[in-house]
Chain A
Amino acid sequence: MKLTLVHLFPKLMNIYGDKGNITALRKRCEWRGIDLEVLAVDDQRDFELISRGDLFFFGGGQDRDQMHVWEQIANSKEQLVNLINERIDARAVFLLICGGYQLFGNSFLDANGVHIPGLGILNIATIAPGSEVKHRCIGNIVIQTKLDIEPQTLVGFENHGGQTKLGEGLAPLGKVVKGYGDNVHDGVEGCIHKNIFGCYMHGALLPKNPHFADYLIDLALKSKYPNEKVSLKKLDDTLEMSAHAYTKKLIV
């Protein structure tokens, strides 16, 4: 079997070890004999590659770089949104973290706290921290999901200023057990919409949450090969799961 992973704007959006998510997906496919091709989309010339994607990753960036990305896509927003929507309809899987998560929403903040419209694919809005949030939401985070994974927890590290509010009816990725999450009020982290998973969790997220990495790979394979029986070969995740459990123990 073969999967194509499209990494959105890796040149500018590659902060806080998010590269580790690509590494985790790459290795976990490789170890099972699944051929994973990784394509980078850095500007409009690469947009045609999007229609080849089964899996998408969009990571976080520094404020200035996030604005750069926005400046690049603002002019071709409609084209980009159409291409992405086609893939969403084909049940492709998206993992969006931090800046990438914010950009998929209805609005986000620029470096000076000014609101900018996003891609409008996710019904979320990111606002400036209010008076009760002095700096940024920084720290270890553990969340409890309702996903079909074992254990149902995810662990990571968040570092964001923006406060994200989920729109009506949108499901969070999980409930915050420890940490801040989307914002300091709601006690939830991330969101799920179709096969799009957005969140603020760095760490990098996937190496320490191999069950979630496999969940994404499994989903992507099932979308791509609807008529075949997909069953992921079990890997020895002793080290991964002990890192997961140990982090949880450190934090909670």
Chain B
Amino acid sequence: MFVLLYLLTYLTRLFVVVLKLFGRNGTALPGLWVERYMPSLIKYYAKQYKKVILITGTNGKTTTQHALASILRDAKIPFVSNASGSNMLRGIAATLLLAGPQRSRKAVFLCEVEEGTMPRLTKQVRADIIVITNLYRDQLDAYGELHTTARYINEACKQSAHAKLVVNGDDPQLVSLVKDLTHHLITYGVATEHRKTFAYEGESQDSKKHVQATRIQINQDLTSFIEVDDCIESKNTLHTQIKFQPPGIYNVYNALAAYTVGRILDIEPARLAASIQTVNPPFGRGEKIQVLTQGHVVTFHLFLVKNPAGFGQVWQLVQRVPDARLIVGLNDQVADGRDVSWIWDIDLERYYDQTATIKSLLFTGRRALDMALRYKYAEITSFDTTIETDIEKAIDRVISASKESVQYTLLVTYTAMNHVRDVLSEYSPITSYSST
């Protein structure tokens, strides 16, 4: 079997290299073949790892994965991860296939998994740790409904009887999702006073979490400083301080998730804090791209928005930026969600800070007019507002109009963000910090 796996891996790598010579990206196809014709192959490749860690939930999968990767790297634990964010079955299959059999007996497979894919994956893969970050209404047309998504994850947990569950204990949807499960459960969350500013779906209850942020400070550059109480080992409570660069309180949860898994892997709190501190915001999660034009620097601070909850959190956060120049990009391709109805579920009014110093607001993307309407009906219109549905024109215009070094803050859906990146790449960006 082992030899066969090696052989398949080398053939696949060869295939990818050959396709690359013809200028094509060949990683998707092998994954598709495995998914369609031989899903059990995933099982054999996954068995090569000592531990399998799965991360699922609506928001925060990628950032949590990146923080955990940093922890594993620093702890010198060999690992394979789907760092590219390909979190559907075919992407995961391709990752496993290309990584091949593992030489190290300690190797970890670290994998973020799209919620609907969970039960299909756990059918093949024996998970040791399952992290569930949160459960929000996402692009409802993707699966139909929130309850369906909850059922997928619940089913996956039931298929992974011996897995430890690391769960956001502040999310009522998750508390009820794991209620009937008998797994070893470890929860994380924040102190009540910090939870007030942060909305999950359903009524939150106060409960004691194993890992809890007792104090959170969001700095002016949107990074955070977190004080953590950890009573995973019931004997005594450990105190740790963590600095985290990915912006905002929603990312504090991702830092806590990564910390909790690190503790389960028996890594000391101080070492975890050091590893988490070095994590840069991943692709579009507060990542900055800078271009040099006419002797000054234009900075684009990118925030990917995918659903009402995520948008609300980012909206709340970006208003902290002094004299913010905002660009909101809404597209309606499959990867964005074809239905833009979700924008009417954003709590724009509730999270609007009247004292925020927003300088300008530009709407762009195929559905820019829908978004402009959403803001109009929230009566958030008191500053310089423009609409340009063509993303390329919109970006070109702000760059050519800038007479000094400025920063733009972008809230963009998936394909809108990719379009923005494409446009910026034409300007040869001078810096871009991101781990992908």
Contact = CB atoms under 8 A, between A and B. Distances in A.
Interface of A: 15-20, 23-24, 27, 62-64, 136, 138-140, 157, 159, 202-204, 207-208, 239-240, 242-243, 246-247, 250
B341 A204 contact: yes
What 9 A-B pairs come out closest when comparing CB atoms? A20-B344, A17-B344, A17-B341, A243-B369, A62-B145, A16-B341, A204-B344, A202-B341, A157-B339
B373 A239 contact: yes
Contacts of A207: 344, 373-374, 377
A159 B140 contact: yes
Nearest to A136: B144
Contacts of A15: 137, 140, 145
B317 interface: no
Contact of B338 (A138, A208, A242, A243): A138
B342 interface: yes
B345 A19 contact: yes
B372 A239 contact: yes
A157 B340 CA distance: 8
A246 B344 contact: no
Contacts, number: 76
> Which of the listed residues B338, B344, B372 has the most CB atoms from chain A within 10 Å of its own CB?
B344
Nearest to A210: B373
Contacts of B141: 138, 159
B377 A27 contact: yes
> Which of the listed residues B338, B340, B341, B373 has the most CB atoms from chain A within 10 Å of its own CB?
B341
B146 interface: yes
Interface in B297-348: 338-345
Bin chain B's interface residue count.
20 to 34
Given A136-B144, A208-B370, 16 more contacts: A15-B137, A16-B342, A17-B341, A18-B341, A23-B378, A62-B145, A64-B145, A138-B339, A157-B341, A159-B141, A208-B373, A239-B369, A246-B369, A246-B389, A247-B370, A250-B366
B162 interface: no
A16 B140 CA distance: 7
B376 interface: yes
A17 B370 CA distance: 12
Contacts of A140: 338
Given A239-B372, A243-B370, A62 B146 contact: yes
Nearest to B341: A17
Nearest to A31: B379
Nearest to A246: B369
Given A139-B338, A159-B140, A159-B339, A19 B373 contact: no
B98 to A, nearest CB: 32
A246 B137 CA distance: 27
Contacts of A16: 140, 339, 341-342
18 contacts: A16-B341, A18-B341, A19-B345, A27-B377, A62-B146, A62-B147, A140-B338, A157-B338, A157-B339, A157-B340, A159-B141, A202-B341, A203-B341, A207-B373, A207-B374, A207-B377, A240-B373, A243-B372
Contacts of A239: 369, 372-373, 376
Interface in B137-187: 137, 140-141, 144-147
A73 B147 CA distance: 22
